[in-house]
Every structure is written in C-alpha cells, then in structure tokens.
Homo-oligomer: A and B are copies of this chain.
Amino acid sequence: MNYFDQKNDTICALSTASGMGAIAVIRISGAAAFEITNRIFTKNIAEVPSHSAHFGRIKNAAGEIIDEVLLTVLKEGRSFTGENTVEIACHGSTYIQQQILQLLLTSGCRMAQPGEFTMRAFLNGKMDLSQAEAVADLISSESKKAHEIAMNQMRGGFSSELNDLREKLIHFASLVELELDFAEEDVEFADRTELKALVSEVLAYIQRLMKSFELGNAIKNGVPVAIVGAPNTGKSTLLNQLLGEERAIVSNIAGTTRDVIEETLNIEGIIFRLIDTAGIREGAEAIEAIGIEKSKQKIDQAQLVVLMSDYSENESHHEGHSTMSTDETVVWAKQLQQIYPTKKFIVLANKMDMRPSANTLEEDDNLKILAISAKKGLGIEEFKKWLVDQIQAGFDVSQETIVTNVRHVEALEKAAFSLQQAKDGLVTQVTGDFIAMDIRQAMFHLGSITGSISTDDLLGNIFAKFCIGK
C-alpha cells in the first residue's frame, strides 16, 4: 500500500460502525468530491455553501433510486481532512451501504485505506502527527481516563509540551553553535554550568514522560489482573461482588452495549481486565484441582495478582474440602514474589465474617494482606482502592501529560539517550560540535513525535493501524 502516490485521489468509505443501524454515514474526501457526488445525487451541490445539509436521492446509472439521504457538504479548508468533503447519511442497511459505495467507486472514487482521512488531515496541516494518533486512541477509548488522555493529546496538549522542549533545545544548540563560529578565538558564549542545568532539566522532564507510559499503557490497554487461589476460597463470590454493579451500568443505555461483555472492571476510569474468569464464573472451581500450573499461566499474563485465601475459622471446612488458609497463602505469595519480582501481589483474607475472634492480620511491609468478606461486601472498597493505587500512584492523570503510545516512548528514549550524551560531553569538556550534534539528534527524535520530521514509511505504519473510514 502506498498512500503517497495517490494523495490526490478522491476517497470514500463507510465511517460508521459496520452492520445494520437506523442510519449509516459514508464519507467522501478529495478534490473531486462534489463533482463525483453530483453524478449520483439528485441535487446539484457544486455551488452550495460549506456546512450545509441537503435532502435528496441517490440514483444509479439506470436511474433506480438507491436511497433517500441527508448529505452534508464541507468545503476545502473547513473540513476534517482539509479537502472538499461530503458526508452521506443514508438508511443503515448493509445492502444500501454497499450499493452507494459501489456507485461511488464506479463514479470516480477509490476506497480509502485505513486511517487515510486522518492522514490527509495531517498532510494538509490540520493537525500534527501526535494529534492524528490521538484520533485513533479517542475512537478506541473505553474508559474515562483513556478518553481524557486521548482528548488532551488530540487537542494538542502533548504537542505544545514537546514544542516547549524543542525550543529550549534550539536555544541551547544555537548558543553552542555560535561558540563554534568563534572556535579559533576560544570564546565560551554559553555558560557551561547553565547549559548543564538546562540539559538536566529537559532530561528529567523526558524521563518523567517515559515513566508515565507505564500508567498510560495500563489506561489505554487495561490492566491485566489474575485472581487465583484454592477451590472454596470464594473466587466466584468475589467476582460476582465486583461485577455485580458494573453489569448494571453497562446495560444502562440501550443500543450502546456490546454483544460480548468482557469480564472487565472500570474503577475510577481505569479498566482492569480479569484474566480467564470463565472457569470462575461457571463455578468450576469446586471441582477443579488446585491447578498450580493453571494459576502460573494466569500470573504470567497479569500485572496485578490477587491471591484468595480462606480466613474463616471453620476447621471442619478446612479438613473436609480442599481450601487454603490465609497463613498458607501468605507463604505461597512470598514464593511467588521471588519468582515474579515486577508483579504486584495482594492476599485477600476472605470470609472474615465467619471468624468469631476479632484478631487482626499481621502487618507486612512487603505484602499487602487485606481481610474481606466477598459475600457480605466487606473490604471490597479498600480492595478496589489498592488496585487503583498500584496503577495511579505518583501521577495526576488530569493534570500531567501521560504517554500512551509505544512509538512516542521509543522516540523519547532516543532523545533521552542523545541528551545524556550531551550532558556527559559537557562534563568531560568535549568540543562544542559534538554537543551540538547530540542536541540536534535529540530534537530530531522529539520532532518525529509531532511529525515535524517524518518519512513516508513512518506515516504508512502509523495510519495503517487505524480503522477504515477515519
């Protein structure tokens, strides 16, 4: 696929979700958008003003009516892509959608590639690259936090921070380069102490952005959580307790729910994805062996691990059935912490309501142990708070820029590497031309994020991941 040979084509695509709906929207963009539309529409839209809507009929070459539609005209410079654009709101049958697209193809349009509308918006200077990428993130955002970050990025929040950084570096580089012009005179225009402070400041800032990706990625893709434990510790009760309220919210608005409801939890706007809960839901745990192997597989995929344990003092229960006490589970957790040092663990001491004595759990600095009753809903709020804290600690999502894009992190890493080199160079007193080169390199990488520096290959890669119609 090469977008660039054909950037003057007029393109079309279904822009609404596929399938049957009351209405569907087909978008056309390009220089010939109005001319092509006039070939199939019963009204002449050549001279109508921008941002006007027109009711009329779509007809094929044989004069057969395909549909009655509401068509919106957006003129060059005032549309999303920056090009002449027509949006056709037709009846939402898949047959009609296909017929109109077919008709557009035979009338001079070409099917848009994934992301091609947004790429044109970028190429026409309507937005920079990180803003364009945010459009895709916005469309796929499933939670308040993911939406907030994407919206901030789309509206240029991240771009303006990057531009601030670049300006600081430009200032820096120009001082160093000025020095070079007078190299023979051995003059130091730039105060090296001040330069060091400036590079350190920019570097620290970039490192904070890099670190934010951990949170950003969790918010964008959801946090994988494993709930494991011996049978009869109450995993399915916990799951029902957690999902109970959630389900009600999801089905609140008719027409917007999805066919398959994943086992996910949305807590304070962060999506937690519960790994392989199918068995738990079906109550299979009762007949399941402790299944160490299966637990390991789940823990491998998880970022947060919840270990369920039986904290009741029901001794007959302990003996008669296979369950696992909290003390035993804490031992297990500590073994797991050795094996998985980067994952975060919590032991839930379940069935606290069935424990007559009010003795408290021992505090443990290295492992969170929390008494709950999944059945009675005790301790659940504190458990949720623990989940959120593991992800959000140290960041204020609504205030600070959070990086969510792998490409951006990679560019930031490269920029940080070059800045570190420049900083080292200042310490070891290398000549200004090397330092200037490092700084220019850092600026190049920062520029690749917003697309002020870009290549066709890069753009192709980015936009190919979009859905068609955007």
Contact = CB atoms under 8 A, between A and B. Distances in A.
Interface stretch (A16-24, A33-41, A237-245, A388-396): A16-24
Interface string A111-146: 100000100000000000000000100111111101
A47 to B, nearest CB: 15
A89 interface: yes
A74 interface: yes
B23 A141 contact: no
Interface string A435-470: 000000000000000000000000000000001111
A77 interface: no
A220 B99 CA distance: 18
Interface stretch (A166-174, A253-261, A307-315): A253-261
A25 interface: yes
A16 B25 contact: yes
Interface string A231-272: 000000000000000000000011111100000000000000
B74 A22 contact: no
Given A53-B51, A72-B72, A93-B138, A20 B17 contact: yes
Interface residues of A, number: 66
A13 interface: yes
A319 to B, nearest CB: 49
A442 B67 CA distance: 33
B101 A256 contact: yes
Contact of A65 (B19, B146, B155, B254): B155
A96 interface: yes
Contact of A14 (B117, B139, B255, B469): B255
A87 B87 CA distance: 13
21 contacts: A13-B22, A13-B255, A15-B21, A16-B16, A16-B17, A16-B23, A17-B19, A18-B257, A21-B469, A22-B139, A22-B469, A23-B27, A53-B53, A53-B74, A65-B155, A70-B72, A70-B74, A72-B72, A87-B89, A93-B140, A102-B253
